[in-house]
Chain A
């Protein structure tokens, strides 16, 4: 079986890696990475804003986001993909590609989940932190950005990473709306070979695993770095 896997890789590595590019659209692993990164880069800051709104003392900010989160959490992702795919073109009057559809969907869906993680981080901080900051004369936003968010985001790193990982994995659903990415490429390979589905999808699974594992390691390194900074610097002082 491993001989087969190596065989397939040596023959189709380009398709796995970049799709049909340069003879067709960019796809494969590279596009999966681009899709996941873009989704993360847009969804994460958006989720922080949503979390600020969701913990706001003003209902006008809080209620719409609450509804948003409940709706996104209560509907299967694939339904939202279909909706975006069919609804958005009819709203804006022109077709959008699978990649853009998938990116929009992931941002909408994941920002709701990430928002809840950040909210949990914010609300688990002791009330004394807000009081101390406000008592110094720092206003709501300064308190949020200098005091609350740095602590809340740091404490949320494990849950945030899990969610980032599911962003990577959910890009594979782009397959059903013809978004050019790794799963789509694997399927093309499988359609050409026909008789080696286990090997093809094994390659796919391992690749996803390596991506997610890499992200976990990166996060752990980052976490340790912050921890080290908070543990060690008094040594410099004495």
Chain B
């Protein structure tokens, strides 16, 4: 579904991604973890080209994301992306936030799109706030709406860039449970997160990154019990305290 081959990215002199090779298979949930500045967010942002790369290739659902003939907008509309800071549109109601892309990009009729949006809101437990504006919602509520918005285009895969990092601790659970139910339904997911319990429970694969490289890819069991790479071993020790 998402294939990274020899992906390289520099910010000037600084190499953010170094020869990244990896694959997210259809229906798989991959959790990307690692210390700050290891390139996790940069990596996930290359999938829908919010970051440019200087070398290598990324295939999304068979399409070359950085190919010269890539139709960027149509490609992006088929990738669900959830941001750390939610980035809801503050001048639109919750419902309008979700309906915007399907209305403008798919040309479907309003009542159909609205019913679909209400279903999504129901799924994330936010239908009672359909007509509220983002600034009237808590962080956890905003993030759940943002997930619904990303799902509205019915993308085959969802990307989560630290979806719970900007949340108060008591709101993390509600967002994670939405993500868990998505995973259960068989959604292909790539998540950058520090929530190790989520990784342990839900992930099929854990990718450990440091200094722009993927150092270890293993199933969560192996990663948390017997990490092979020394850097991953010290990371596990540190998060256990």
Q: CB within 8 Å of B: which residues of A?
A: 126, 128-129, 131-139, 142, 146-147, 150-151, 154, 230-231, 233-234, 236-238
Contacts and interface: CB of A to CB of B under 8 A. Distances in A.
B73 A137 contact: yes
B81 A135 contact: yes
Interface residues of B, number: 33
B133 A137 contact: no
Nearest to A140: B73
A137 B136 contact: no
Interface of B: 48, 50, 73-79, 81, 83, 85, 87-91, 93, 100-101, 104-105, 128-133, 135-136, 149-150, 153
Sort A-B residue pairs by CB-CB distance and give the 9 closest, nearest first. Answer: A137-B77, A234-B132, A132-B87, A237-B131, A128-B87, A136-B101, A135-B81, A137-B76, A137-B73
A232 B213 CA distance: 49
Nearest to A135: B81
B150 to A, nearest CB: 8
A57 to B, nearest CB: 13
B132 A142 contact: no
Contacts of B74: 137
A147 B101 contact: no
Nearest to A151: B91
A138 B132 contact: no
B91 A150 contact: yes
Contact of A138 (B101, B128, B130): B101
B91 A138 contact: no
Nearest to B146: A132
B104 A128 contact: no
Nearest to A230: B133
A137 B153 contact: yes
